Structure 1
Amino acid sequence: MRYPVDATTKALSVLVVFTAFAGDFWRNLLGWWGYLALVAAITAAVAVLMTRRGLWRRLDPRRLPRTLLLLATLMVLSLAWSAYPGATVLGILAQAATTLCALFLAVANGWPQLALAASRAFTAILGLSVAFELVAAIFVRQPVLPFFTDYSGQKVPNAFYWTQADLFTGGPIQGIVGNRNLLAFVALLALVTVGVLLAQKLVRTRPAVAWLVTAVVVLALTRSATVIAALVVTAGMLGVLLLARRVGPGRRMGVAVATAALAVAAVVAVSASWSTLLGLFGKSDDLTGRVDIWNSVVSLASERPVFGWGWVSYWVPWVEPFDGLAVRNGVTYLQAHDAWLDVWLQLGFVGLALFAFFVLGSWHRSWWFAVDTSLDGRGRPLPHLAVTLAPALILTALLVQSLVESRLLVEGGWLLLVAIGVKSKIEQTDVGLDLTGIETVPKAAPVATAP
């Protein structure tokens, strides 16, 4: 399958990924109405471009993941029994816009182009975050609140600040996304995407190494325990994938069994030293209030266990049962801080099963995409390619994050999950990897601009 490589497609792909992962940046900068106008404009641009380029033809429903189609259908049908139909309509619209953008990424880009677009978006977030924190620390020298929000006459919780201007005190820094965990996760994804592109020689070495160092520094300054855990697991998965490539098809089952055994051993070790590990990262035994939130969600979900309360994506704090469901230190939380609990709460066991099958199916296809031998356009085997590791590594990071955050269901998490899930499915029977972005690189010249 061939893909357009024009400047418009490239720029729109980068903007889509940037906006999905830096939504709080736009909301803090432009306010909610400005953000909604921007999202509407991007969604319209995606729809128009897909129509003008004839990209809709690549989305044959018979080749799309059935579990995704069923899950999306259940989201819409949940309007019939939703306890908050107005919020469900808003949630469906938000989910539809994000899904459309994910489909665009999947059908408008080959795997190399998709990795390049993602890396450019992630490094842009990192670069702007460092610049933002520098300006706040040098010139402002005090915490910065979001623009277009009136906090007069009320005590503002620390979580509401855009940045605490703590760069020169060792952090934790929050960057343009206004949250250290989100910024750290972007740094992790930058490590993955820039790393595979550098290994594939699709980017210049010096700028790529500079971005990798920047990502490591940002990870250190955010001090996010959850992302550090995701980094360790993702690094371990990289080792497993490389080992599976090396041993060949006949021994990959042994690699899988050994990996499962090591995972069980790791869980046991972590459980035995749980309090000590949390102390190292300055966390309490309740994971900064997450345990209380999980207990509240489990109790509420148990009241409607089969089909849930109705889809809403982000919680809507002005309607029941979300008003007062999870409040800590004056902050009302808009998620269950666990994607799986959130799906159960909103769509019940039926939705949870569909979601699990979609996620596991996407990861399974990404695993084989990473370890199998790729074929060129004529069906000839190619050497193992570094860029084919990216989908499995990104999904691994997303899955680890999904245990303590619900971001897999919204914005950037859902965008990448659907893009990878759909792309790995619709190309499953094709001859293999589209290498347009690799074949056009001059061998004797620098291979590409930095991400």
Structure 2
Amino acid sequence: MTDERPGARMWQSAREAVGSARFAQAVALLAIGLAFSTHAITALIGWPGLIAALATLIVLAGFSLVARWPAVEWYGILPLTILVFVAWCAASVIWSDTSWLVATRVAYLIAFGVLGVYVALMRDTIQIVRAFGDVMRLLLGLSLALEVLSGILLDLPITFLGIQGDLAELGPIQGVFGTRNMLGFVALIALLTFIIEWRTKISRRGKALASVVLAGLCIILSGSPTTWVALGAALVALAALYGLRRAAPATRWRWQIALIAGGIAALVIGWLLRIRIIELLDARAEFDVRLDLWREASRYLALNPLQGWGWVGEWPGRVPYLWIETMTGRDHASALSAYIDVYFQVGVIGVLLFVALVGVALVRAWLLASTRKSPVYLWPALMLVVIAVTSFAESFAIVEGGWMLLVVCAVKAARDMSWRDALAPATPTRRPKNAS
């Protein structure tokens, strides 16, 4: 007995450490940081290093889940929309010509999805906002520091990170994210997160204002037209939610219907005036690139319209992607639209499932944001608005950080507003939902 007691105490101490809230917080921060730093990580230590870090994080998350098993409410853990979409992507292994490649890419998708589920399960919404805020401050600060080093102090590009060193000309800049559009996307997420931090008093006023200035500066210097459109949509959504939260509960549904009608009208007007809007945003060149890419991709969509070519996420150097790049004369990592990318890779069924995933999550998050008192409920709704709008012109939502963010928001919205809760029998052991 005396030989076993020290080992038992060590095991108990290790289990308590792994099952602690501090450990869950650290894993959540590392998961978010990894998901949004993949470009910089692969530039520094390559794909083997990224995969090793990802696998290590998943193992740590698994240990944490096991240690905290009794405290986790497993009922209704995942929205069916996520499960069905991922299952369809996995099924594309069957009809793909490169089954091994599809299998590895589906595993990559699932890995970041698992980390997203872990973050949503282990942290409440206000803790998630704090975690995203801390990570975004670090990444945007590092990006701006490297841009100053490259564009002003050295006046040389940092090639391996994709930094062009154009800060002296006021951009566009790329930071540690590889492209200006990805920087703009992250900066917009950060800006909205910092605003929610300020409204919920997570951060002191001075820190919150400095963070907002940092994010706003990165948005401006990124020069990303897609980000400006998404920012406009997010501000309109924020104003609409601000009004809804102050409307009388008895009349709120009328305002919801009016907003839906107004949104549809805005989409129609935007489509009719799309050329003028593109010119005002000085985005004609980017639009032409996308139009050429989509036109070429449509030629190959006709060959596999129902099931697509198989899930790959970021485009590999294989056919038919090589054929599209050859015809457009450019290298592409995606179809520059999440909806078209999903359509191309997993067909009509896949894109309908993806739209359902984003749409159902957005509706749930919107209803929560418009009825719950705490400003923290605004965060998932605003994130999903940004994802839904950005996905028209970028494919961030189906890979790495964008996908993990989508999963986090969808899981949090489903756990607070699930149709399965309404059908579940009431039991005295069932824990109430966490209001934060």
TM range (shorter): 0.7 to 0.9
2:25 pairs with one of 4, 10, 15: 10
Give 3-state SS (helix, strand or coil) of 1:278's partner: helix
- Cα gap change, 1:63/1:134 in structure 2, threshold over 3 Å: closer, same or farther? closer
| Number of positions where the alignment pairs a residue of Structure 1 with one of Structure 2 | 406
Equivalent residue runs for 1:60-75 within 5 Å: 60=75, 62-75=76-89
Give 3-state SS (helix, strand or coil) of 2:202's partner: coil
* Cα distance in 2, alignment partners of residues 286 and 227 from structure 1: 13
- Are positions 1:163 and 2:163 aligned together? yes
RMSD, aligned α-carbons: 2.2
- Cα gap change, 1:29/1:414 in structure 2, threshold over 3 Å: closer, same or farther? same
Give the CA deviation at 1:326.
Answer: 3.0
Give the CA deviation at 1:47.
Answer: 2.0
* Cα distance in 1, alignment partners of residues 394 and 66 from structure 2: 35
Partner of 2:106: 92
Partner of 1:158: none
Partner of 2:349: 350
Partner of 2:325: 326
- Cα gap change, 1:240/1:330 in structure 2, threshold over 3 Å: closer, same or farther? same
Amino acid in structure 2 at the alignment position of 1:85: S
Q: Does the 8 A contact of 1:240 with 1:255 survive in 2?
A: no
Give 3-state SS (helix, strand or coil) of 2:245's partner: helix
Q: Which runs of 5+ in 2 are unaligned?
A: 1-18, 422-430
* Cα distance in 2, alignment partners of residues 55 and 76 from structure 1: 30
- Are positions 1:341 and 2:340 aligned together? yes
Equivalent residue runs for 1:233-244 within 5 Å: 233-244=233-244
**Structure possessing the higher relative contact order (Cα contacts under 8 Å, 6 or more residues apart):** 1
Give the CA deviation at 1:407.
Answer: 1.2
Partner of 1:193: 193
Give the CA deviation at 1:171.
Answer: 0.8
Give the CA deviation at 1:198.
Answer: 0.8
Deviations for 1:320-358, whole angstroms, at most 9, x for unmatched residues? Answer: 211232358864212111111111212222222222222
Q: Does the 8 A contact of 1:230 with 1:397 survive in 2?
A: yes
Partner of 1:446: none
Equivalent residue runs for 1:217-256 within 5 Å: 217-256=217-256
* Cα distance in 2, alignment partners of residues 247 and 320 from structure 1: 54
Amino acid in structure 2 at the alignment position of 1:41: T
Partner of 1:23: 38
Q: Does the 8 A contact of 2:383 with 2:409 survive in 1?
A: no
- Are positions 1:422 and 2:391 aligned together? no
* Cα distance in 2, alignment partners of residues 273 and 70 from structure 1: 36
Amino acid in structure 2 at the alignment position of 1:212: V
1:138 pairs with one of 133, 144, 152: 152
- Cα gap change, 1:18/1:327 in structure 2, threshold over 3 Å: closer, same or farther? farther
* Cα distance in 2, alignment partners of residues 122 and 339 from structure 1: 23
* Cα distance in 1, alignment partners of residues 328 and 310 from structure 2: 28
* Cα distance in 1, alignment partners of residues 71 and 297 from structure 2: 39
Give 3-state SS (helix, strand or coil) of 1:64's partner: coil
- Cα gap change, 1:74/1:272 in structure 2, threshold over 3 Å: closer, same or farther? closer
Q: Does the 8 A contact of 2:310 with 2:345 survive in 1?
A: yes
Q: Does the 8 A contact of 2:79 with 2:411 survive in 1?
A: yes
Partner of 2:121: 107
Between structures 1 and 2, the one with greater helix share: 2
- Cα gap change, 1:250/1:299 in structure 2, threshold over 3 Å: closer, same or farther? farther
Deviations for 1:189-226, whole angstroms, at most 9, x for unmatched residues? Answer: 11111111111111111011001011111111111110
Deviations for 1:381-428, whole angstroms, at most 9, x for unmatched residues? Answer: xxx111110000000001111001111111111101111112222333
Amino acid in structure 2 at the alignment position of 1:354: L
Equivalent residue runs for 1:35-50 within 5 Å: 35-50=50-65
* Cα distance in 1, alignment partners of residues 392 and 70 from structure 2: 34
Amino acid in structure 1 at the alignment position of 2:104: L
Give the CA deviation at 1:45.
Answer: 1.9
Amino acid in structure 2 at the alignment position of 1:300: Y
* Cα distance in 1, alignment partners of residues 332 and 71 from structure 2: 37
- Are positions 1:408 and 2:408 aligned together? no
- Cα gap change, 1:328/1:42 in structure 2, threshold over 3 Å: closer, same or farther? farther
Identity among equivalent positions (%) equals 29
Q: Does the 8 A contact of 1:173 with 1:221 survive in 2?
A: yes
Q: Which runs of 5+ in 1 are unaligned?
A: 147-160, 374-383, 436-451
